[in-house]
Every structure is written in C-alpha cells, then in structure tokens.
Amino acid sequence: MYLERALRLISGALILFSLILAHFVSYNWLFLTLGVGFSLFQSGFTNWCPMMSILKALGIKEKGA
C-alpha cells in the first residue's frame, strides 16, 4: 500500500469512528473529526501532514519513489 492511499484510509476511518462515537457516546468526539479535517485542510496549503510523517517513519513508500 502506498502512502497517499494509506493516508486516505486512516483519515476516513478516523472520521467515521469519531462520528459513531459522537452519536453513541459523547458529542466531544466531534473534536477528533475537527482535528482530522483541519489537518487535511492545512495539508492542502502546506503539503505537509503529521500522519504522512508517521507513515513514512513506519516505512510506507510513496507511489513515485
């Protein structure tokens, strides 16, 4: 699996997970959704995402590399 695909998979899973927890446990889980959304938004401008750094450190390769 390549880096960008893993990033989309993790981001989508975190958003869905936090929405389910917000519905069944506490609305405070929506802050996780906010954090993931903000991270994706800022990465569109800066081309840097904390999760990408973590995935690179774990050895996940970029598609073109």
* pLDDT digit string, tens, across residues 22-39: 999 999 999 999 999 999
Question: What's the mean pLDDT when you consider all of the chain?
Answer: 94
Confidence of residue 9 (pLDDT cuts 50, 70, 90): very high
| 65 in any annotated domain | no
Distance CA 56, CA 7 (A): 11
| 38 in any annotated domain | yes
In which domain, by residue range, is 13 found?
Answer: 3-57
CA 19-46-16 angle, 5° bins: 10
| 64 in any annotated domain | no
Report pLDDT for 65. 59
In total, how many domains does the chain have? 1
Q: What is the model's pTM?
A: 0.85
